[in-house]
Structure formats: C-alpha cells, structure tokens
Amino acid sequence: MAFSMKDKNVIITGGGKGIGKSITEVFLKEGANVVFSGRNEKTGEETVKEFSKYSNKLKFIKADVAIEEDTQNLFKMSNDYLGSIDIVVLNAGYFPQQRIQDMTSSDWDTVVDINLKGVFLNTKEAMKYLKEGGRIVITSSITGNKVGNPGLGHYGAAKGGVNGFMRTAALELSTKGITINAVEPGNIMTPGMENVLGAKYIKDQESIIPLSKLGEPEDIAYAIIFLASDEAKYITGQSIVVDGGQILPESALDLH
Ligand code: NAP
C-alpha cells in the first residue's frame, strides 16, 4: 500500500511503456482512474489489456506530447472520459545518443521538443482543468540537473530546462492551490535504456552506482505517487533525486 489514490482521476503521458507503465500500474493499484498517452497505439492497447485487471476506468489516448493539438485533444478527451482531472504526470521522454559533433539541429529540435516543449504544452493544458489541490509531477532526470552525459547534450539541456520551467510554473500555479514537482531518476532499467544505450552502458553504470544496480521503474513510480498525494500538499517547485546514490561519490575511492 502506497499513498491512497482512490477515485483520483489521473493523466500520465508516456504511460504505456518503461517507467510510465510502472507509474500507470502503481496508480491503478492504489485506486486511481487513469488515462495514459503515447504515440504507439499497439503498445498502448496492450497495456490497457494487461492492466484491465485493476480497473475498468483505464484508457489509452494516442497523443504526441510535442504537438499542441494532440495535447489539447488528450486533455479534453480525458476530461470527458474521467469527468474531471486531479493529477497529471508528465513522464514522456526521449533520449537518443548523439555526440555534439554528430548532432544535427533537427536532432536537437526533436529531443528538446519532446522533453521540454512537451512539458510546457502539457502543463499549459493541465492548468485549464486542474482545480485546487491538483497535482502535476514531472519525470525529469539527473542528466542536465546534476550531471552531464556524453551523447545526451540535447537531452540534458531539455531536462535542465524542465526543472527551470517547473520553478516558475510552481509560482504561477500556487495562487490556484496546485503543486508541481519533479522526480530526477538516475539509471533505471527500461526498454528505452536497453534499446538505446545498450548492455555495455548498463554494466558500466552498475559499477559507479553506490547501491550497485540500476533502479527499477517502480522506484520512480513510488516517488511520483508521493508527490501526487494529498499528503504532499506543502511541497511545490521541488525535485527528488532517485538514483541509488549515483551523484554522491566525489571519487572512485568512495565506491565500495
Ligand atoms: P522509454 O522506455 O523509452 O519510454 C518512453 C515513454 O515515453 C513511452 O511510453 C513513449 O511512448 C513515450 N513517448 C516518447 N516520446 C513521446 C512523444 N513524443 N509523445 C508521447 N509520448 C512519447 O523511456 P523511460 O526510460 O521509461 O523514460 C521515461 C521518462 O523517464 C522519460 O521522461 C525519461 O527522460 C525519464 N528518465 C529515464 C531514465 C532511465 O534511466 N530510464 C533516467 C532519467 C530520466 P510511445 O513510444 O508510445 O510514444
């Protein structure tokens, strides 16, 4: 049992795969009604089928976070389906490996659009629907906020921008009694991590993480559910690092 989400109406972007899938599952297990988005309909519908055991109030809506019209549709259709919206989890993200010298301006735009503009567009839409007590929680990253990562210059810039955006959004939302916070995952075992970064990257990472292993998607989901809970009502504009201690060591000597 985590924090109760009984009868809360929740939107989760990128909720059908990886960390987002775990967030969807944890919210459903705690009693929430969930709409989640993504671009891949097949994955979305498979996740709905798999999680129908938890709730019959669960729906996938195809929507690209970086396209304003999709975002407007997502929120309108979710509001129609759920009746109201209490919590919005902005989780969708994309992290292709491209060293700066090989990165095109189109590569840059794609990554910044999904990871940063997507957060802006969805927050703007969320503001139209959330009421007093509403919550926005973002899946940010240690990359860009606490550390650099060769090959992820665009992604780090976007995720650093996300936290900067969140602080101002927290102030603008505070007058309405709505909070916005972020979780900064370290290295979490997901399809995105496996497919894009590969087995060698994962093994190398394990050797520099004090808790000696990559995180699991639910490690992020539980931090998010806390920030989305009624109990987290006095926290806004903050981010929680969930990284197995990865950003702590000053030198290799500090490890094990
Ligand atoms: P993942 O396995 O690749 O899943 C990414 C999710 O985002 C999928 O559901 C995908 O759905 C969705 N998505 C991607 N682009 C989208 C778009 N333009 N519009 C709508 N949905 C989109 O990645 P993950 O590892 O679970 O990452 C989830 C979040 O955690 C991201 O924000 C990522 O930056 C962050 N994060 C992950 C790690 C890690 O170690 N895994 C570390 C730090 C931060 P579709 O494929 O259906 O579009």
- Show the 3-state SS of 112-165: HHHHHHHHHHHHHHHHHHCCCCCEEEEECCCECCCECCCCCHHHHHHHHHHHHH
Q: In this structure, which residue's CA is closest to atom 34 in ligand 1?
A: 93
Report yes or no on 248 lying in a domain. no
Report yes or no on 56 lying in a domain. yes
Residues of the chain with pLDDT under 50: none
- Nearest atom in ligand 1 to the alpha carbon of residue 187 is 40
Ligand 1 center from residue 182 Cα (angstroms): 15
Cβ atoms of 21 and 45 within 8 Å: the answer is: no
Work out how many domains the chain is built from and give that number.
1
- CA-based nearest residue to 161, from 232, 194, 208, 113: 113
Report yes or no on 4 lying in a domain. no
Report yes or no on 256 lying in a domain. no
Q: Is the pTM of this model over 0.75?
A: yes
Ligand 1 center from residue 113 Cα (angstroms): 13
Report yes or no on 138 lying in a domain. yes
- Is 234 catalytic? The answer is no
Q: Which amino acids bring their CB within 6 angstroms of ligand 1?
A: 13-14, 16-20, 37-40, 43, 64-66, 91-95, 114, 139, 141, 185, 187-188, 190-193
Report yes or no on 3 lying in a domain. no
Report yes or no on 1 lying in a domain. no
pLDDT digits (tens, 9 = 90+) for 32-84: 999 999 999 999 999 999 999 999 999 999 999 999 999 999 999 999 999 99
Ligand 1 center from residue 55 Cα (angstroms): 24
pLDDT at position 192 is: 74
Q: Domain range holding 109?
A: 9-242
Q: Can you give the CATH number for the domain in which 87 is found?
A: 3.40.50.720
Report yes or no on 180 lying in a domain. yes
Which of 35, 39, 70, 202 has most ligand 1 atoms within 8 Å of its beta carbon, as the pocket-test mutant?
39
- Nearest atom in ligand 1 to the alpha carbon of residue 143 is 43
- Quickly count: other Cβ atoms within 10 Å of residue 134's Cβ: 21
Q: CA 83, CA 93: separation in Å to the nearest integer? A: 27
